[in-house]
Amino acid sequence: MSDPGFEHVYRAASDPAAPTLLLLHGTGGNEHDLIPLADAIAPAAGVLSPRGKVLEGHMPRFFRRLAEGVFDLDDLRVRTQELGDFVEASAARYGFDATRVVAVGFSNGANIAASLLLLAPGVLSGAILFRAMVPIVPDALPSLPGKRILMSNGRTDPLIPAAQAELLADLFRRCRADVTLEWQPGGHNLTKRDVELATRFLAAP
């Protein structure tokens, strides 16, 4: 498999027992955005943090959208595969365990992480999805038995309707994933409670 070559940051885990976190930024972000979050929630974990390759104006994203919340599904399928290939190529290149990669995604990054779980279910061993919505409903649902997924959404998020988060959690449940959906009183931005939830999720065996 070829390496699709994302601009990225990689940092090896300082504890061999810790997973590698696949950090996936939101629209307009870059590969550096979520490093402080990773340091806060799992300082000993490895970090693989690519920059989305799709530009909306000057804003990097992980896949194209036609409008706010309306996704280009053909592009999403291609970009999801490409990101999955990048994770596998990076594991070979850097020597981390490809079976222990946990996505930490925010907004557009959470949406492509959800797409990875649904379309390329072997890539992630678990995921933390902040402010995600349904990216795509696959024709055939994957089997994700016991795969741990933490979703955290804002009750008053103007970008992600609450029903979207509930639909995504239901979709994961139908795939037999072990999903927890947590609700925050706030909107789209991350809060201290999001950080606490993610820290606890990653500390659990």
**Catalytic site residues?**
107, 157, 188
Does residue 36 belong to the site contacting ligand MLT (CB under 6 A)?
no
Residue 71 is given by DSSP the state E
Tell me the per-residue interface mask from 166 to 205 with ligand MLT, x by CB under 6 A, - otherwise: ----------------------------------------
Q: How wide is the angle at C-alpha 151 spanned by C-alphas 145 and 153, nearest 5°?
A: 155
Task: Report CA 114 to chain centroid distance, whole Å.
Answer: 6
User: Which residue in 12, 89, 98, 159 binds ligand MLT (CB under 6 A)?
Assistant: 159
User: With contacts defined by CB under 6 A, how many residues of the chain interact with ligand MLT?
Assistant: 9
CA distances for 55 relative to 27, 52, 60, 135, 152, angstroms: 9, 8, 5, 18, 26
For residue 41, the surrounding DSSP H or E stretch is: helix 35-41
Instruction: Supply 145's token pair.
Output: 């038995």
Does residue 111 belong to the site contacting ligand MLT (CB under 6 A)?
yes
Does residue 27 belong to the site contacting ligand MLT (CB under 6 A)?
yes
Residues forming the site for ligand MLT (CB under 6 A): 26-27, 65, 68-69, 107-108, 111, 159
